[in-house]
Structure 1
Amino acid sequence: MAYSQLAIVGGTVVNDDWSGPASVFVQGRRIARLAAATDPVPEGIPVIDASGRLVLPGGVDPHTHIQMSLGDYTTRDGYREATTAAVWGGTTTVVDFAIPRPGERPLDAVRQRQAAATEGVCDAALHACVVEWDDTVPEQLRQIAALGIRTVKLFTTYRDVVMADPATVVNVMRTLQELGGMAYVHAESNHLIEHDQQRAVERGQIDAAGHASSRSELAEVTAVREVLSAARSLGAPVYFVHQSTPAAIDEVRRARSEGVRAYTETCPHYLALDDQHYAGDSPELFVCCPPLRSPATVSDVVARALAGDVDTIGSDHCCYDRTQKWTDRSDVRVMPNGLPGVETRLPVIFTELVQRRGMPVERFVAITSANPARLNGIYPQKGVIAPGSDADLILIDPTERRTVSATDLHMATDYSPYEGRELAGWASTVIVGGTVVLDDGVFADNPLPGRALVSQPLP
């Protein structure tokens, strides 16, 4: 329901740098002011009673793949489906990737994706993507920046599909420096992966059950070191997506201590799932890149998240269904890689890090909302409850727990890797741009359309 004014009272407001009892007043699409919990609400303003609940800035998911086509497979969701699922899970801003199709220019891929963003029910930012460098790319990147996109995805793997060679990586990073931008890097060493995969073929273990050994931890940390060397030499910032190993995270931490502006993202599945799932009845449902790691590695990644060495947690949402995952399960080199997770991102993180291991809820807000907004150039429009910021708010009852069932979720797939798990951290009320879109299990019939966000130069 849309109101011209709204007050959220009785709850505990949480930002990444403070929390406490307060009232939040909304005017139109924005937060008008915060007030002491004891201050009266002016007559005539609708009130949401948040007693017993946490009032958080809406989640910002820095890593989603919506209607993505790679190889022979396309994910099942468009912007409407993906953002609806996101809102049900407490995420009110998604950041998608404009990955060029073969022969398509990065600039054209960006324009197409920005137009699609208005089909969603929450706002969307965007990462561009460069696969191959040529003389036209600098001007394309300048035009992309003028469209409000400052981050560019680079893959160091997937030869002949989206892989950028080392020279392209360096050239993009250098050009982005001039534009106030930053490279977002999928860092796995391709020659090591191809070696791992050839050995898996020789062992007869290139199927989904053998996925863990087809992309080694060494491949990840080697690529991270190489990209960090370039960033250090150029003085350029760099962000590593979906880091799954403690060694890779440690490399980023060391580089940052030396003055490199380097950032780590991990994902819920690298904190809550492990490679034992590849020994189960449906290993194909857990095939993602990088693979799920050993229980010991998962424990070490969790420890680094708790220690503050992880900057953001993105879902890496890839909404394939069971049939797609099943069809080519005999060869992980061609089957679709990725897990659906935009809806379960916040509950998995809240359960694993806040409830089970005592992470302060302020830190939870930092890694799920404030930091993703900062590192995408959309803070303080997003990621904080403050006057002038967008009125994207979620209310969470920390005592409420729900058991995950794919039939109860809203992603355009028929499975969840967290099926049967009991999770906390579900949003009971979600406000997007001042409009109550979700409340007590009821989703608004006609929410406002999402907007394509304009990113500011990164510091």
Structure 2
Amino acid sequence: MPHPEPLDLVVRGGTVINADWQGAADVLVGDGRVRALVEPGACPPDAIRRAGAAELDATGRLVLPGGVDPHCHVGFTSGEFTSLDDYHQATTAAVFGGTTTIVDFAIPRPGEHPADVVALQRAKAAEGLCDSALHACVVDWDDTVPEQLRAVVADGVVTVKMFTTYRGETMAEEKTILNVMTHLRDLGGMVVVHCEADHIITDVQERRASAGAIGAGHHATTRPELAETASVAEILAIAESVAAPVYFVHQSTPEAVDLVARARSRGVRAFTETVAHHLVLDDSAYAGPHPERFVCCPPLRSSTTVAGLRSRVFHGQVATIGSDHCCYDTAQKESARHDVRAMPNGLPGVETRMPVLFGELVVERGLPLGRFVAMTCANPARLNGLYPRKGVIAPGADADFALWDPAATHEVRATGLHMATDYTPYEGMRLTGRPRTVVVGGRVVVDEGRLTDPEPRGRHLASGPLGPALIC
């Protein structure tokens, strides 16, 4: 046995794919961590048996880092609706899709304090089948917020989300955003912003309602692209004025991505996240029989806009791709389909994010595997202070990875998924490539479509400071 440390698992015969390196290697695992990558065959089967380690044959498989989903809403309440999953359900779905770390949001309801909500959400991590981290959220600024920010950063939550829409619920005013940016900058953290200009959306929606065109089938016209780009420009100006980093969630238009790219060229630490459904679905879904199932914010865009957004992915302008997972079911969606202002916004996607992106971007359009891993694993870990513990297969990293069959074909069906809902927006999509075996902390939790280790061992991950040299 060429490695002196005790081993629990050896993955042999596969091709390891990291963001910056790929090649044939055997992966040695001990005590939940990657101990080493070695030449194929360096640990012969009889030596593995003598060491008492388990063995996974990854011949013909790609060994990818476990996905890091930077954008999940678990048990999320908005208005009168609450999404239907808990941490156990959401992380079960995640691991079946090759994701082994999720980043949830601790969003306060009116009257709640950000630090208190972080503490409540953090306690739920132990229900999970995989690890989780958190984004905090600030809605209103008062004299208590600076100390709350210090407290949440000390607790390992270094990213804070704010919204420029949903007035009266989660929307933060520009001065609040500037104050939070400034304080987080000095604490080694970063603001995460949902950008849609509320005044533009409100005006458009009032006019659409007067015309009788405010139902789910008209959703794409009620939140125009201009509202997103106008808000991104404003938030970039604030970030640049105080030299603070900023991360934009679910950017849905090429123009918004270009604004961020130009700011980066000026030295602003600005980062684009997009999400799977904005890259593979378009607004024709609102003309179908169930438009309410596709109501999300920002809405699905035109096929031309989707193509432009995909091109930015291929040109390296997108840092991360999340799911924006929000697990409502059809009944919840249908209950307010007549008025999108009252509907629950969001799509289920934590389980489908990586298979859909692999099939649609890697297999169908030739996205390099290293770039796929960068946007779904490594960069989300970096931008949430979790790298190199997560997002990479390397000595010292957590032994979270998935063995992918790059040639397996399958059809997406809600009945074959594990999310706490009765539908998927990708119903009927034919995909090539899927995870066959998923390892979390050195334990095989999924193998060939079966949950092999259902015991919850999830941990709340403390994120490290992001620092001035944050890049990806």
Query: What range is the shorter-chain TM-score in?
Result: over 0.9
Q: Does 1:281 align with 2:289?
A: yes
Q: Does 1:247 align with 2:252?
A: no
Q: Does 1:401 align with 2:409?
A: yes
Instruction: Provide Cα deviations, 1:135-176, integer angstroms capped at 9, x if missing partner.
Output: 000000000001100000000000001000000000000000
What is the CA–CA distance in structure 1 between the aligned matches of 2:168 and 2:413, rounded to whole Å?
37
| Equivalent in the alignment of 1:10 | 13
| Equivalent in the alignment of 1:27 | 30
Q: Are the equivalent residues in 2 in contact too, given 1:23–1:37 (CA < 8 A)?
A: yes
Q: CA deviation at 1:40?
A: 2.6
TM-score, structure 1 normalization: 0.98
TM-score, structure 2 normalization: 0.96
Q: Among 250, 274, 283, which residue is 1:266 paired with?
A: 274
Where 1:426 maps in the other structure, the secondary structure is: strand
Matches within 5 A, 1:22-421: 22-41=25-44, 42-44=47-49, 45-421=53-429
Q: CA deviation at 1:47?
A: 1.3
What is the CA–CA distance in structure 1 between the aligned matches of 2:11 and 2:456, rounded to whole Å?
20
What is the CA–CA distance in structure 2 between the aligned matches of 1:4 and 1:15, rounded to whole Å?
22
Q: Are the equivalent residues in 1 in contact too, given 2:133–2:462 (CA < 8 A)?
A: yes
What is the CA–CA distance in structure 2 between the aligned matches of 1:216 and 1:182, rounded to whole Å?
27
Of all paired residues, the percent bearing the same amino acid is 59
Where 2:406 maps in the other structure, the secondary structure is: coil
Identify which range, 242-251 or 191-200, moves more after superposition. Answer: 191-200
| Equivalent in the alignment of 1:442 | 450
Q: CA deviation at 1:448?
A: 4.5
> Which stretches of structure 1, 4 residues or more, deviate above 4 A after TM superposition?
none
- 1:437 aligned partner, one-letter code: V
Aligned length: 457
Q: Which runs of 5+ in 1 are unaligned?
A: none
Q: Are the equivalent residues in 1 in contact too, given 2:446–2:453 (CA < 8 A)?
A: no
Q: Are the equivalent residues in 2 in contact too, given 1:65–1:317 (CA < 8 A)?
A: yes
Where 2:407 maps in the other structure, the secondary structure is: coil
What is the CA–CA distance in structure 1 between the aligned matches of 2:168 and 2:125, rounded to whole Å?
28
Q: CA deviation at 1:203?
A: 1.5
Q: CA deviation at 1:199?
A: 1.4
- 1:337 aligned partner, one-letter code: N
Q: Are the equivalent residues in 1 in contact too, given 2:88–2:456 (CA < 8 A)?
A: no
- 1:117 aligned partner, one-letter code: A
Where 2:214 maps in the other structure, the secondary structure is: coil
Q: Which runs of 5+ in 2 are unaligned?
A: 1-5, 468-472
| Equivalent in the alignment of 2:431 | 423
What is the CA–CA distance in structure 1 between the aligned matches of 2:251 and 2:122, rounded to whole Å?
27
Q: CA deviation at 1:445?
A: 4.1
What is the CA–CA distance in structure 1 between the aligned matches of 2:127 and 2:180, rounded to whole Å?
30
Instruction: Provide Cα deviations, 1:165-209, integer angstroms capped at 9, x if missing partner.
Output: 000000000000111000000000000000110111122111001
Q: Are the equivalent residues in 1 in contact too, given 2:115–2:152 (CA < 8 A)?
A: yes
Q: Are the equivalent residues in 1 in contact too, given 2:126–2:456 (CA < 8 A)?
A: no
Aligned residues: CA RMSD: 1.0
